[in-house]
Amino acid sequence: MAEASGFSRRKLIAMVGAAAGSAAAYQVMASLGFAEESPYRGPIRLDGDPKGASVLILGAGLAGMTAALELHQAGYRVQILEYNARAGGRNWSLRGGDTYTELGGAVQRCEFETGLYLNPGPWRIPYHHHGVLDYCRRLGVALEPFIQLNHNAYVHNTTGFGGAPQRIRTVKTDFNGATAELLAKATRKGALDAEVSKDDQEILIEALRSLGGLDKELTYRAGDTSSEFRGYARDPGGGLSARPVDGAPMGLHDILTSRLWRGLQNFLLYEFQTTMFQPVGGMGRIGEAFARALPTETIRYGAKVIEIAQDGHGVTATY
Ligand SMILES: Cc1cc2nc3c(=O)[nH]c(=O)nc-3n(C[C@H](O)[C@H](O)[C@H](O)COP(=O)(O)OP(=O)(O)OC[C@H]3O[C@@H](n4cnc5c(N)ncnc54)[C@H](O)[C@@H]3O)c2cc1C
C-alpha cells in the first residue's frame, strides 16, 4: 500500500525511526514482515576465494563482523574500517567505570559498580533470531535467559487507584475474571444465541470459568482460584498463621478508569515472547567475541570513512 502511493516502505520506516525512535521503527518493520523469524538454517557456506582477492568492509557492527568472519574463513584477505574505538556497533555495553563521550562532546561517566553494565542499544535476543544465537554458540558467548515479563512488577498511572502502583498479576487476573464473568452471564442469558450455537455456548462457559477463575454461579470473587493467580492478601505459610488470606479483587470500574489495562499486552508481541536471551555480562560480549575470532589488525579503529567512489577499475574508500 505504501509503495502504491509513491512512498517507499524504507522511507516510512526511516521516518518512524526519526520521529519515534528505533524501537518504534522495529515494530513497524515487524508489522511489515521485515523482522520475522530468521531464515538462517546453519553456517553460511562460501566458496573459496578467487586467488589473492581482498575485501574492504565498512563498519565493525555485527553485520560487518559477520561478513568479515565468513569471508576470512573462506580465504579472503579482509580489512574493516571502523569509526569507533571498539567493535560491535550499536550492539555494545557500557560498564561501571567506563567514560563515554557522546557525539556533540558531552562526557558521561558510568559511576555504577564494576561488574554492572548498561546496554545502550539492543538488550534482547529473541528465540527466533537463529543466526545470532548460532554465532554466539560458535564464538563461545555464554547466554542466559532474559526475563522481560515479570508478573510481579508494577503498572502505574497517577490517576488510577489514587496513584498507587498495582501488580501486573492482580490487574490482569481481575480484569480477566470480571470480563469472563460478564461474558459468561451474558451467554447464559441468551445474549449470544444469534452468534454461537447452544453446544458451543456450553463449551464457551466452561472455558470462561477456567480462564477467568469463575465459581459455579459464574461469578469472579475472592477465593482459592482467584488467589492462585492474583496472589494472596496473606500467603500460605506455617505455624499459627498457616491459613492463607485471599486477596480481594479490585472492581472492574476501577480497572477500566485507571487505564492500567493498557499495560497488560506489553511484551506479548511475537518479537518479545519467551524465551529470550542475553549474553552473560552484556550485549557487548558478542562484538568482542567476533573481534577475537578475527586476526589482529583486521579492524582499523578510529577510521572514519568520508567518501566512497567507484569507477571502471574498482572502488575507493577514503577515511
Ligand atoms: C536502542 C536500540 C535497541 C535495540 N534493541 C534490539 C534488540 O533488543 N534486539 C535486536 O535484535 N535488535 C535490537 N536493535 C537493533 C540492532 O541493534 C541492530 O539491528 C544491529 O545492531 C545493527 O547492526 P549493523 O552491523 O547492521 O549496524 P551497526 O551496529 O550500526 O554497525 C555499523 C558500524 O559502522 C560504523 N560506521 C558507521 N559509519 C561509519 C563511517 N563513516 N566510517 C567508519 N565506520 C562507520 C559504526 O561505528 C558501527 O560500528 C536495537 C537497536 C537500538 C538502537
List the grid coordinates of 194: 444469534
Q: Where are the domains of the chain?
A: 41-123+284-318, 168-258
pLDDT in tens, 73-121: 999 999 999 999 999 999 999 999 999 999 899 999 999 998 899 999 9
DSSP β-ladder status, 307-311 and 154-155: unpaired
Report the separation in Å between the CA atom of 282 and the middle of ligand 1, taken as the mean of its atom positions.
15
Ligand 1: atom nearest CA of 59 is: 34
Report the separation in Å between the CA atom of 77 and the middle of ligand 1, taken as the mean of its atom positions.
24
Classified by CATH at the fold level, domain 41-123+284-318 comes out as: FAD/NAD(P)-binding domain (3.50.50)
Res 37 pLDDT > 80: no
Maximum mean pLDDT: which of 10-24, 45-59, 226-240, 300-314: 300-314
Report the separation in Å between the CA atom of 249 and the middle of ligand 1, taken as the mean of its atom positions.
45
Question: Does 294 contact ligand 1 (Cβ within 6 A)?
Answer: no
Question: Does 225 contact ligand 1 (Cβ within 6 A)?
Answer: no
List the grid coordinates of 121: 542499544
More confident residue, 240 or 147: 147
Q: How many CA atoms lie within 13 A of 178 on its CB side?
A: 16
DSSP SS3 for 49: coil
CATH number at 168-258: 1.20.1440.240
pTM, 2 dp: 0.84
